[in-house]
Amino acid sequence: MAKANNFYSEILEANRLLTESNEKLGLFESALAYNRNILHIKDSIFTIEKSLAETKTADNIQTKFMKDEIGRQEAKIEELNQSKNRTEITAILTAAFLIVISILAISLYRNNQIKLKTNDLLHTKNNELQAARDAAVMAMEAKTNFLSTVSHELRTPLYAVTGLTHLLLEENPSENQKEHLKSLKFSGDYLLNFINDILQINKIDADKLEALQIDFNLKKILSEVINSLHQSAKANKTKIVLEFDEDIPSHLLGDPLKLSQVFINLIGNGIKFTKGGQVTVIAKLAKKVEENLTIYFEIKDNGIGIDKERQLTIFDSFEQGSIQINREYGGTGLGLTIVKSLLGLFGSKIGLKSEIGKGSSFFFELDLKSKDDLIDDIPFEITEVEYDFAGLHILVVEDNKINQVITKKMLNKKEITCDIANNGLEAVAMVRKTDYDCILMDIHMPGISGEEATIEIRKFNRLVPIIALTAISLDDSLESFYAAGCNDVVTKPFKPEVFYQKIGENIFDVKKKIEA
């Protein structure tokens, strides 16, 4: 059974038992044969075990080789995996990059589109605004030109009203007539101031004014303004006191005409609203760095004062203290507006301190430049000079017939004789022939203007005083009259006192200077 089933250990055991039993039985040949069987079987088993061991070894070697191979393959796979990862990352990054770039490009494109649209919109708005601005500028220009023309046209008849009233008042009117004439004069003067103020504001609004840099003497300017207001101060029994800091250099650079206007308005108001009191004009050197000066100005009075509420508005156009004040003191409500605008032109701002019943103080600082300081001391004195006009011979250059009559009458009143030239050319010819004491030159005339006629006259006569009489219009500039050779300018319509004063100053004071 063991043989049939190849059970070697049972076969071996059976052969070993047979060997032992045959040996004990003395059957040595059989015992040897069974022993040989044992050896044979053992050999076979050895061979089998050996081949099994070899196979095992070979298997082991193969397994090891395969393990190694698997390891190598795994390493390769790992490597491949890694490189695959890298490629993937690169691919992802590239994709992300491309997406970002595309988003950027899209947003740039959209931005651009929006920009273009906004630009278009801005362009349209800009055009609209420009058109609106042009329209506003044109409307403003139309307004200023209209105002300028209207006030200009008003001046000629006004000149007749004020001039004739003055003449009538001097021709011994009856008491009754005197009252009416005084009212007429008051109304005429009021209209005259009003028109001049409107023209001035008109000029400021039209930006036709600019601050000049002219050589001037501040003390002289202040003295002249105070002198010109002396009459009204006297009528109000008010004293004008000038406190002038002598440290202020006598030669300054600035715009004396506009400065005078500021002072005339402020000192004029001080006098107007102060009865039996005092108006003090202060000019003080506040700072001096080389030729750069800051001068502090104050015009204070002890008159009626201005209440707190009104202090905020009185610098606005047509604003006055109150209806009562206007009734009692008159005025147009434009004076302080002009002052504020003119000071604005100099980069300065006006301040105000006032208490009702106690008085008012208007103050501001001005930055001016000093010129090389020459000793030119002008004493401050209120001069009320009575000139003796009798015997003077003057040339009146004027195209308007009514004005000719009035001017002639006003001159005759002071025993001045005069010739009349109807236009510029006639005037030049007459000055060549006759030696006049003075020429009153209208500026706006048909043919050559007064300015051109003055230039012609100055070519052969440098001495005769020429006073320009002009209704200053929008485009006129006082500076150009002086540049043409005029000695002085009187703005039309003028007050008779100013008219005589200017003639006297220019004939006698200039003569005095030339003689000296």
Pairing verdict, β 466-470 and 438-442:
parallel
Q: What number of other Cβ atoms are within 10 A of residue 436's Cβ?
A: 21
- Select from 19, 22, 238, 320 the one that contacts ligand ADP (CB under 6 A): 320
Between CA 160 and CA 406 the distance in angstroms is 7
Token pair for 63? 């397994």
- Confirm or reject binding of residue 270 to ligand ADP (CB under 6 A): yes
Q: Cis check for the bond before 173: say yes or no (omega within 30 of 0).
A: no
Structure tokens at 178: 């005197």
Backbone angles phi, psi at 286, to 5 degrees: -90, -35
Shortest distance (Å) from residue 203 CB to ligand ADP: 17
| CB of 111 vs ligand ADP, minimal distance in Å | 56
Ordered DSSP codes for 395-438: EEE---HHHHHHHHHHHHHTT-EEEEESSHHHHHHHHHHS--SE
**Which member of 250, 332, 404, 470 binds ligand ADP (CB under 6 A)?**
332
What is the SS3 assignment for 498? Answer: helix
State yes or no: residue 273 binds ligand ADP (CB under 6 A).
yes
The neighbour count for residue 289, using CB atoms within 10 Å, is: 7
Among 15, 280, 341, 360, binds ligand ADP (CB under 6 A): 360
Sign of the Cα pseudo-torsion (207, 222, 504, 488, in order): negative
Per the CB < 8 A criterion, the answer to whether 218 and 260 are in contact is: no
Query: What gap in Å lies between CA 414 and CA 409, rounded to an integer?
Result: 9
Residue 306 engages ligand ADP in binding (rule: CB under 6 A)? yes
Of residues 455, 452, 436, 333, the one with CA closest to residue 394: 436
Q: Which of 163, 249, 303, 485 binds ligand ADP (CB under 6 A)?
A: 303
- Least distance to ligand ADP from the beta carbon of 336, Å? 3
Q: Does 321 bind ligand ADP (CB under 6 A)?
A: yes
State the minimum distance, in angstroms, from the CB of residue 140 to ligand ADP.
Answer: 22
Say whether residue 336 binds ligand ADP (CB under 6 A). yes
CB 493 within 8 A of CB 155: yes
Select from 120-128, 227-235, 298-306, 481-489 the region that touches ligand ADP (CB under 6 A). 298-306
Q: Is 145 exposed, middle or buried (0-12, 13-18, 19+ CB in 10 A)?
A: middle
- Options 16-24, 212-220, 303-311, 415-423: segment touching ligand ADP (CB under 6 A): 303-311
Output 334 or 394, the one with its CB closest to ligand ADP.
334
Number of residues that bind ligand ADP (CB under 6 A): 21
Does 256 bind ligand ADP (CB under 6 A)? Our answer is: no
Which tokens is 438 given?
């003075």
Closest separation in Å from C-beta 274 to ligand ADP:
7
Distance between CA atoms of residues 347 and 134, nearest Å: 27
Q: According to the binding rule CB under 6 A, does residue 201 interact with ligand ADP?
A: no
For ligand ADP, which is the closer residue by CB, 270 or 465? 270
At residue 241, the 3 state secondary structure works out as strand
Q: Are 272 and 236 in contact (CB under 8 A)?
A: yes
Asked if 481 touches ligand ADP (CB under 6 A), the answer is no
Min dist CB 303 to ligand ADP, Å, is 5
The single residue among 38, 195, 314, 445 that binds ligand ADP, judged by CB under 6 A, is 314
Cβ closest to ligand ADP, residue 226 vs residue 314: 314
8-state DSSP, 485: T
Q: Does 333 bind ligand ADP (CB under 6 A)?
A: yes
Which of the ranges 71-79, 82-90, 265-273, 369-377 carries the binding residues for ligand ADP, by CB under 6 A?
265-273
Q: Near ligand ADP by CB under 6 A, which window of 180-188, 267-275, 286-294, 454-462?
A: 267-275
335 lies in the site for ligand ADP, by CB under 6 A: yes
CB atoms within 10 A of CB 203: 22
Taking the least distance from each CB to ligand ADP, the nearer of 266 and 453 is 266
Q: Rank residues 280 and 403 by Cβ distance to ligand ADP and give the closer one.
A: 280
Does residue 238 interact with ligand ADP by CB under 6 A? Answer: no
Q: Whose structure tokens read 């004062």?
A: 305
Determine, following the binding rule CB under 6 A, whether residue 341 of this chain makes contact with ligand ADP: no
Residue written as token pair 């063991």: 2
- Residue 314 CB, shortest distance to ligand ADP, in Å, is 4
Task: Tell me if 200 contacts ligand ADP by CB under 6 A.
Answer: no
Helix ranges restricted to H, 434-515: 450-458, 478-484, 496-504, 510-515
Q: Which residues does residue 397 pair with via DSSP β-bridges, in sequence order? A: 421, 441
User: In terms of CB distance, is 256 or 303 closer to ligand ADP?
Assistant: 303
Which residues, in sequence order, are bridge partners of residue 360? 301, 354
Binding site for ligand ADP (CB under 6 A): 265, 269-270, 273, 301, 303-306, 314, 320-321, 325, 331-337, 360
